[in-house]
């Protein structure tokens, strides 16, 4: 495991929970894998995820796998401030040396964390790109949010990132709407890493792409991780993506983690019956 000791974690998450609706004090007890549902039968509240906890280490790639509705995307969207948590805490080492639960910070401080210390690549490029801007303009938008102002320097940085992600530099002034799905994802990756964040979230980044395009995007992600040493959390329902990219894996069902461990161990010798079902269905 890269750069890992017990006390040098980059991100620590504890008891992270998101519930939609009006739960009561017994909602968590009535939902989850044991009940085969994340909907509380008494209150009808939906437990998107509950009591999620893990540590992520510098340069590590953590996978979160599960079926649609398992809660895996909700976890990363809470950590990236797209979704407000119901309860729980998270600490990020580069932010105030992990002295505060960053999920409780003010909106201004959350913007700083998001713009300087994190990147997100969404399943749908329209969630991560402004289709009214050029590809270079999208990267510049992130640079401006982090305080960069020099137009020439931002254009140079945009060029470097597009070259790194294999987007033709001749397309820098074109809008992403004219690009293929795979190229849109590569522009989105460029934008996400523009400010050299120590942490990158990837949410189903190959869904909807042709198989050959998927493979190229995954190769790119793996090359960038190796070159830049960014810690990543990769969300996917596809075990081949998890197998290719990740060091450790969390398996989620009905909003709960049912199994976790080294990716090779989890996929080659799954212990939980749900993980066994996932693995056997994708063989």
Q: What is the pLDDT of residues 82-101, one digit of tens each?
A: 999 999 999 999 999 999 99
Q: Is the pLDDT of residue 3 over 90?
A: no
Distance CA 283, CA 280 (A): 5
The answer, yes or no, to whether residue 5 has pLDDT greater than 70, is no
pLDDT at 170 over 50: yes
Domains assigned to the chain: 11-281 (3.40.50.300)
Percentage with pLDDT > 70 across the chain: 98
Q: What is the mean pLDDT of residues 118-136?
A: 96
**218-252 b/e with 16+ CB inside 10 Å = b?**
bebbeebbeeeebbbbbbbbebebbbbbbbbbbbb
Average pLDDT over residues 139-143: 95
Two structure tokens written together for 270: 């799954």
pLDDT for position 1: 47
Mean pLDDT of 161-170: 95
Tokens of 14: 């504890």
| pLDDT for the residue 283 | 61
Share of the chain above pLDDT 90, in %: 94
Taking phi over 0 as left and psi of -120 to 50 as alpha, with beta for the rest, 38 belongs to alpha
pLDDT band per the 50, 70, 90 thresholds, residue 7: confident
Write down the pLDDT at residue 282: 80
* Mean pLDDT of all residues in 176-205: 96
- CA torsion sign for 189, 191, 197, 199 is negative
Pairwise CA distance, residues 152 & 202, whole Å: 29
Q: How confident is the model at residue 23 (pLDDT cuts 50, 70, 90)?
A: very high
What pLDDT score does 208 carry? 87
**Quick one: average pLDDT of 13-17?**
98
């Amino acid at each position: 495991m890269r750069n890992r000791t017990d006390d040098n974690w980059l991100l620590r998450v504890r008891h992270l929970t998101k519930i939609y609706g009006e739960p009561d004090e017994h909602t968590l007890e009535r939902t989850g894998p044991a009940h085969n549902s994340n909907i509380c039968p008494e209150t009808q509240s939906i437990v998107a995820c509950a009591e999620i906890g893990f540590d992520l280490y510098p340069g590590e790639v953590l996978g979160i796998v599960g079926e649609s509705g398992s809660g895996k995307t909700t976890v990363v969207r809470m950590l990236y401030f797209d979704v407000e948590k119901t309860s729980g805490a998270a600490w990020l080492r580069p932010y105030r040396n992990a002295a505060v639960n960053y999920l409780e910070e003010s909106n201004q401080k959350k913007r700083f964390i998001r713009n300087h210390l994190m990147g997100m690549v969404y399943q749908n490029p329209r969630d991560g790109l402004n289709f009214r801007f050029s590809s270079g303009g999208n990267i510049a938008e992130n640079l401006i949010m982090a305080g960069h102002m020099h137009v020439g320097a931002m254009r140079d940085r945009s060029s470097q990132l597009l070259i790194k992600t294999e987007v033709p530099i001749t397309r820098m002034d074109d809008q992403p709407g004219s690009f293929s799905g795979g190229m849109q994802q590569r522009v989105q990756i460029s934008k996400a890493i523009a400010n050299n964040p120590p942490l990158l979230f990837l949410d189903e980044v190959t869904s909807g792409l042709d198989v050959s395009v998927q493979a190229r995007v995954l190769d790119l992600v793996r090359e960038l991780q190796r070159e830049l040493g960014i810690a990543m959390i990769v969300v996917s329902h596809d075990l081949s993506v998890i197998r290719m990219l990740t060091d450790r894996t969390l398996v989620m069902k009905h909003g709960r983690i049912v199994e976790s461990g080294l990716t090779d161990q989890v996929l080659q010798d799954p212990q939980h019956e749900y993980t066994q079902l996932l693995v056997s269905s994708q063989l």
